Amino acid sequence: MVFKMKFIKKSPWILHYDGSSCNGCDIEVLACLTPLYDIERFGAINTGNPKHADLLLITGSVNEQNISVVKQLYEQMPNPKAVVAIGVCAATGGIFKDCYNVQGGVGEVIPVDIYVPGCAARPEAIIEGVVLALNKLERRKSPRKDA
């Protein structure tokens, strides 16, 4: 059966993963949950569980140690899913690009849907990135099959 994902836009559950970042973008992601920005008013929940999540928010670059972790998190998320790379480190590796263990941006390992620029990315930009990712996600179709 093929469904169009109409309700995913109203209930995006988010998984946040911190690669090798300076924690600046992570603090901004968590700031989205605070009373000032309150991302839950769009129905978004910060789940700690890839199997419940629709959106994967990654901050920081990928390194030798966390490549397998990032891949596993992505693979464990049920379809349809989208990835938002937050901050310049997640996009290209940023200031850590030339480190001996850094591979580069998240796009080196898993397909990224939306890149949110900034160092650190502003909460407003993160929310916009999430909304854009949801627009992409809505157009995807759910296979709804048992794996």
Per-residue x/- marks for another protein, 47-76, CB under 8 A? xxx-xx-x----------------------
Give the count of alpha carbons within 13 A of 128, CB side only.
9
Can you tell me which of 18, 22, 46, 128 binds another protein, judged by CB under 8 A? 46
Can you tell me which of 69, 72, 136, 144 binds another protein, judged by CB under 8 A? 144
Does 40 interact with another protein (rule: CB under 8 A)?
yes
Quote the CA–CA distance of 70 and 85 in Å, as a whole number. 12
DSSP 1: -
Quote the CA–CA distance of 3 and 22 in Å, as a whole number. 40
Strand 3-4 relative to strand 13-18: parallel, antiparallel, unpaired?
unpaired
Task: Give residues in contact with another protein (CB under 8 A).
Answer: 3, 5-8, 10-11, 34-35, 38, 40-43, 45-49, 51-52, 54, 78-80, 142-147
